[in-house]
Structure 1
Amino acid sequence: MNGYMLSPSLGWIAGGIIAAALIVAAIVNAVLFVRQRENSDTTLAACIRRSAIAVLIAIMVLTPSVVSTTTSQAINATDVYVAVDVTGSMAVKDAKYGSQDTMTRLNAASKAVTDITKLYPDASFAGMSFGASASLDVPLTPDSNALTNWAETLRTEPTASSSGSNLDAPLDKLIVNLKSTHDQHPNDSILLYIITDGEQTSSATRRSFSSLRGYISDGFTIGVGSTQGGQVPVTEVTASGDQTQSGSWVIDPSTKKPAVSRMDPKNLAAIADEISGRYIATNAQKTLSDSASKEASKQYRVTTTVKRRKRAMPVVWPFAIVTGALLLWEFGAWLTTTRRML
């Protein structure tokens, strides 16, 4: 259902001040006319006309608008894919992100995802998690809240189902989805963020990520955790589906002692090189808040979404027509008065 509202194009502060000044000017004009009527040649029509001009301009400054609902949305032609590691090592509490507070690597990854959404206003986002296998959890959507909510609910895979860290686990899913996006929107800028500790514990040889170059405009590998590392907690899933830590540590079969997981900058730098991208290590000082890609698009396209949203459409033209007519009248009156004086 349509409605009406004021939506100042200059903002409520600047617009409110200007509109208030114009209203005051209209009132002052009327007051001066009443007080000086006997000693002035200003007519009642001129007084009303000038005050009306000031009031109409004040209304236009406040920008009267019609509110309607729509499913159309203008989105930036930038598609951001975020792949987050959820292997057991991401539960290690040795990460720092923008502060000295220590947190799990997965919590740091969640904060990084939030920063990524802030870097690309109006872009589309997709979220993928990978561990023993990969899953596209959030298909490409212009709803950035969907990605941040997903990141906040991510959990590491249970220790019992873990088969070691294999960094190329998301590769097949990424190829399929990135190619699909590239084919559908060949003029879009497609960006890839891979967030992981870079640890490769699987005995299988890691495949190269260079096959993604043909589909992405830019890419980043984001390191979470520390090179000093930490012990990996045993995680379990309860009957209700919640995840808990048993209080014990994953045992390294070769040493019979608690396994220590360390962030591997070499693997992260190698993957970044394979996608012609950049490796960023997050820590107490470094976050992703200033790491936007220069390849992000400046173009916009219109798409149709399921979600209905309100849109304010300015309706200034009727007031502009009336104001223009009054200004022409004022100019004509001034011209007539000037000629009489001559």
Structure 2
Amino acid sequence: MEGATVIFQPVLNVFLLILLFAPVVGVAVWMLTKGNPSTGSGTVMWSLRLVMLLACFMMLLRPGIPGGATQTLATDTDIVIVLDTTASIVAEDWDGDQPRLDGVRADVQSIVDEYPGARFALITFDASAEQRLPLTTDTTALMSSLEILHPEVTSQSRGSSIGIANTMLQETLAAAAESAPDRSRMVFYLGDGEQTVIAEPESFAGSAEFVDGGGVLGYGTSEGGPMRITSGKFDDPSAPSPPTGSESEGGYIEYQGAPAMSVLDDTTLQTIAGELNVPFQLRDAETAIDLPEAPTTTTSYSDSGSVGNVIELYWVFALIIVLLLGVELARATMLAAQLRGLAVRGGDA
């Protein structure tokens, strides 16, 4: 029967395990045959030690039996995340006085969780657009990129356009469509909509033909939030405090003697949503993100196959080892007590 088949998943190569255990087993067998037949105690103990060695060997082989299957869901979708990394992305008006980037990271994690098996790409933009991550199923790499992400250096900021990533997005989507035409494509644009250059924002309409879904997510408030000065360096709590007013101090950006405030512009974000033909959603910490269903090319549980499970049995041999070690410990305790008793009687004599 298939259910009774034993599966081995050794922690080391079997031949290496044999090479490691063979000398020790040989010593145990030699001591066993050398035991004193009249008392039998040595024979019994070495028999138990031999059983312990064999149990340890079996445990390292990691035996198991098939335990059914777990269905998996695969999403045949390419998802491109376009993220604003200007200084305003750390404006402190998320969930009270937290930086907007905290909300961005939480929402990207929700996107990753919502579309298992999808491929993700990350494009960031400030004064220029940059592809931080090509299409990949490695969501750990995506989240790690966001964790270490810092906004542009304040001293180098010369203003930015909210549409500067339009060409890179279109090229990324077009390449994905050409290499895998059977896969659908989604775009999520995350930003506050602030246009800080005089020119009109570039249009994303050229990408619309490749987009099957997604959304534009807006961050910020109409009241705005202050922005800390960013130097492009990681903070080092152990470093000495810099002089007051220095850029590396992490103070706030000022405008005409007062903290500069970054204000949400939802009108421009709605324009981008219209160009991409995806919905716009204003985000805040109290409201759960509303993500669309994956396009119809998402495979079902039955179509995507299953991953077999194995019921591990190594714990049985681990339990045997523990019990035999208990016997060894009890015997050692008894021998120590006997030796102590002999020493005391010898001293009394």
With the shorter chain as reference, the TM-score category is 0.5 to 0.7
> How far apart, in 2, do the equivalents of 1:273 and 1:200 lie?
17
Q: Deviations over 1:279-319 (max 9, x none)?
A: 0111132232x41335253238xxxxxxxxxx6488xxxxx
Name the larger-Rg structure: 2
Name the residue aligned to 1:292: 292
Output the amino acid matched with 1:63. P
2:145 is aligned, of 146, 150, 165, to 150
Name the residue aligned to 2:278: 277
Residue 186 in 1 paired to residue 181 in 2?
yes
Name the residue aligned to 1:135: 130
Name the residue aligned to 1:338: none
Shift in alpha-carbon separation, 1:153–1:230, aligned structure 2, 3 A: same
> How far apart, in 2, do the equivalents of 1:284 and 1:257 lie?
27
Residue 237 in 1 paired to residue 232 in 2?
yes
Name the residue aligned to 2:100: 105
Residue 263 in 1 paired to residue 267 in 2?
no
Output the amino acid matched with 1:4. F
Name the residue aligned to 1:306: none
Q: TM-score normalised to the size of structure 2?
A: 0.60
Q: TM-score normalised to the size of structure 1?
A: 0.62
Give structure 1 stretches of 5+ with no counterpart.
6-61, 67-72, 301-310, 315-342
Q: CA deviation at 1:242?
A: 7.3
> How far apart, in 2, do the equivalents of 1:229 and 1:74 lie?
41
Output the amino acid matched with 1:172. T
Q: Deviations over 1:14-67 (max 9, x none)?
A: xxxxxxxxxxxxxxxxxxxxxxxxxxxxxxxxxxxxxxxxxxxxxxxx73589x
Q: CA deviation at 1:269?
A: 0.9
- Compare 191-200 and 291-300 and name the one that shifted more: 291-300
> How far apart, in 1, do the equivalents of 2:120 and 2:294 lie?
17
Q: Deviations over 1:217-276 (max 9, x none)?
A: 1131111121210222221134x7979853433233xx4543211011111111101111
> How far apart, in 2, do the equivalents of 1:145 and 1:248 lie?
32
Shift in alpha-carbon separation, 1:3–1:280, aligned structure 2, 3 A: same
Name the residue aligned to 1:204: 199
Asked whether the equivalents of residues 85 and 131 of structure 1 are also in contact (C-alpha less than 8 Å), the reply is yes
Asked whether the equivalents of residues 150 and 232 of structure 2 are also in contact (C-alpha less than 8 Å), the reply is no
Asked whether the equivalents of residues 184 and 295 of structure 2 are also in contact (C-alpha less than 8 Å), the reply is yes
Shift in alpha-carbon separation, 1:246–1:293, aligned structure 2, 3 A: farther
Output the amino acid matched with 2:253. V
Output the amino acid matched with 2:186. L
> How far apart, in 2, do the equivalents of 1:143 and 1:155 lie?
21
> How far apart, in 1, do the equivalents of 2:119 and 2:297 lie?
11
> How far apart, in 1, do the equivalents of 2:200 and 2:277 lie?
21
Question: How many equivalent residue pairs?
Answer: 234
**Structure with greater proportional strand content:** 1
Alignment of 1:1-342 (within 5 A): 4=8, 63=66, 75-96=74-95, 102-238=97-233, 246-252=249-255, 255=256, 257-288=258-289, 290-295=290-295, 297-299=297-299, 312=308
> How far apart, in 2, do the equivalents of 1:271 and 1:111 lie?
22
> How far apart, in 2, do the equivalents of 1:103 and 1:268 lie?
22
Shift in alpha-carbon separation, 1:241–1:102, aligned structure 2, 3 A: closer
Output the amino acid matched with 1:299. T
> How far apart, in 2, do the equivalents of 1:64 and 1:257 lie?
66
For the aligned residue pairs, the C-alpha RMSD in angstroms reads: 2.9
Asked whether the equivalents of residues 4 and 65 of structure 1 are also in contact (C-alpha less than 8 Å), the reply is no
Asked whether the equivalents of residues 231 and 248 of structure 2 are also in contact (C-alpha less than 8 Å), the reply is yes
Question: What secondary structure is seen at the aligned counterpart in 2 of 1:83?
Answer: strand
Shift in alpha-carbon separation, 1:213–1:237, aligned structure 2, 3 A: closer
Question: What secondary structure is seen at the aligned counterpart in 2 of 1:203?
Answer: coil
Q: CA deviation at 1:166?
A: 0.9
- Percent of aligned pairs sharing the same letter: 27
